[in-house]
Amino acid sequence: MKHKASRSKAVFRTVCSLPALALFAVFGLYPFGQAIVMAFTDWSGISDSYSFVGLDNFRTMLNDDYIWIGLKNNLFLLIVVPAVTLTLSLFFAAMLTRNKLREGAFYRTVFFFPNVLSVVVISVLWSFIYHPTFGLVNSLLERIGLGHWAHAWLGDNETVMWALAVPMVWGSIGYYMIIYIASMEGIPPDLYEAAVIDGANELQQFTKITLPLIWDIVRITIVLFLLSVFNGSFALVKIMTDGAPDHASELLTTYMYRQGFSNGNYGYAMAIGMFMLVLTITLALISERLTKKESVQF
């Protein structure tokens, strides 16, 4: 009887999961498989006919200067944005958790507010902030007597990537801060009280107690944020600069989009997508390996 009941449950679970599996196969697996096949063709995206070109698309990538520019800019964002964002998120989370401020709820709301905004709103907002004529940055520099520093932040090859990194950091700090606050609030206060008795200062308490105990959460956020920056920076860059000036802010994603939708070179665009897939998997494995350490229990 029990065997029959468990079998019925298994059949019921299978039937319930079939629609989701069908949707995943149609909208996930099939396009993915098609992209792999088309990466080895010269398909234009419009014509029904195409030719198999083997590894020609990948050989072209090796000699394409814009691929290397995009890769360099992606690496820049992967280093700067997560390092600044997660460091500031940890700092603010520790400040709001350890110092029981009456205005704590207000500060959490203020920091989290950018996450309520869409990437389109953030991109347009910061485009106005950086505007060379009436933007907030240049106006502020004029007010404090540093007008000679004012220039087109998004139009200068030397500053455009730094200018793009700022809104990425601004839009992400609050989200990760909330995650870290939730983790820190689960640490028993007795540990900090014992550390104070032993003469540990605030920095020592953070490095010896807080960080080790929440490291599993920090590790997950590092991996997820790296992947988010690598694949999710497309919309912001596309809206704010679209790779300008002179491809100085080009990313692999924006270049892939341009090849597919502007140049009608879908085969090459899908080859770039396959290259990005390999990079994403490699990045995930490396970051997971580098951040792996023994968990600390309390």
Quick one: 62 exposed, middle or buried, by C-beta within 10 A (0-12, 13-18, 19+)?
exposed
Domain boundaries, the chain: 1-38, 55-290
pLDDT tens digits along 92-141: 999 998 777 777 788 899 999 999 999 999 999 999 999 999 999 999 99
Tally DSSP H helices, then E strands, for the chain: 16, 0
Who's near 292: CB < 8 A, 6+ residues apart? Answer: 219
Cβ atoms of 104 and 137 within 8 Å: the answer is no
Who's near 295: CB < 8 A, 6+ residues apart? Answer: 215, 216
Instruction: Identify the CATH number of the domain defined by range 55-290.
Output: 1.10.3720.10
Question: Digits of tens for pLDDT over the chain (298 positions)?
Answer: 556 666 777 777 888 888 988 999 999 899 999 999 999 999 988 888 889 999 999 999 999 999 999 999 999 999 999 999 999 999 999 999 877 777 778 889 999 999 999 999 999 999 999 999 999 999 999 999 999 999 899 999 999 999 999 999 999 999 999 999 999 999 998 999 899 998 989 899 999 999 999 999 999 999 999 999 998 899 999 999 999 999 999 999 999 999 999 999 999 999 999 999 999 999 989 988 888 876 666 5
| Cα 270 from Cα 260, distance rounded (Å) | 8
